[in-house]
Amino acid sequence: MVTGFIQYIEVERRYSALTVKKYRRDIEFFGIYLNGTPETSFDPTIVDSDDIKGWIMHQRGANITPSSINSRLCSLRSYYKWLHRSGCIQSDPTTNINQLKTEKKLPSFISESQMNKMLIDLQELVNATPTENRYEVFRDVVLILFIYSTGLRRAEVLNVKISDFEDNFSKLLVLGKGDKMRIIPILNAMQDNIRRLIRVISSKDICNSHKKFLFLTQEGARLSEHDIYTIIHKRLRSVGVQGKSSPHVLRHTFATHMMNGGADMRAIQELLGHSSLQTTQIYTHNSISELKKVYNSAHPRARKLN
């Protein structure tokens, strides 16, 4: 039954390979708990809510964080919803299981001043790189600019094809989570960078795929999710970004800077591809945090009290 579910989220739901791997692993963890052995197969039809509650308590006893437990529970919920819809079980044992309370963490992002300095440093890196080695460096810089200017998820970025752009690269069609299509406007400067990257790919005859993905290895293969993480982590570290330095940090930075710039929350929700406005609202906290800093440094009464 697990195999059928994995095929469903992989083929019909079109989840990323990383997400599919996580769901499989989380369900296997539950099977190991039930069996008490490394044997991960189990009969999901005989599981009840007490089994799931016991699994949650077992993880708490093993000092697994509430957020990790909730993430695993989410995978299990999806599995049992699929079983219920498929008619394999009469009732869903996860229905009345509540998530654990977690401390809300604000998403990490790069400040506007640091982002501007970082982009200047990266451009200087491109200029200082010998021509024969310039493709990968230029591609990396365009990749960082692209995520920062579009807010795309890592899995969405690696699937961007040249044919996904419309109106002379001013718009991008993105197929996001749940097969939802959205349109992302492309800034003029970003359009120029994309054209330059395509010209380099063409002149060096790098692309070896008829699908013509935008971000490629030197050998012409599409970048993987791991490649994208490694590139961004390496480049952000090289220009002094401390703390988290992942593609998701750039996505958070995009959303936070949009919010600080006065963008409507609904518009940000649409650009990010969030199904719920509640998910987008986390960025208001970052915005308020930034406003507090400005207030404390600028207001006369705040300066006196501090």
Active-site residue set: 153, 177, 248, 251, 274, 283
What is the spatial distance between Cα 74 and Cα 86, in angstroms, rounded to a whole number?
18
What is the spatial distance between Cα 169 and Cα 47, in angstroms, rounded to a whole number?
52
126: number of CA atoms within 13 Å, CB side?
Answer: 16
What is the spatial distance between Cα 236 and Cα 251, in angstroms, rounded to a whole number?
14
| Residue 98 contacts residue 85 (beta carbons within 8 Å) | no
What is the spatial distance between Cα 227 and Cα 208, in angstroms, rounded to a whole number?
18
| Secondary structure class of 213 (helix, strand, coil) | strand
Cα angle 149-142-184, degrees, rounded to a multiple of 5: 35
Concatenating the DSSP letter of every residue in 246-282 gives: SHHHHHHHHHHHHHHTT--HHHHHHHHT-S-HHHHTH
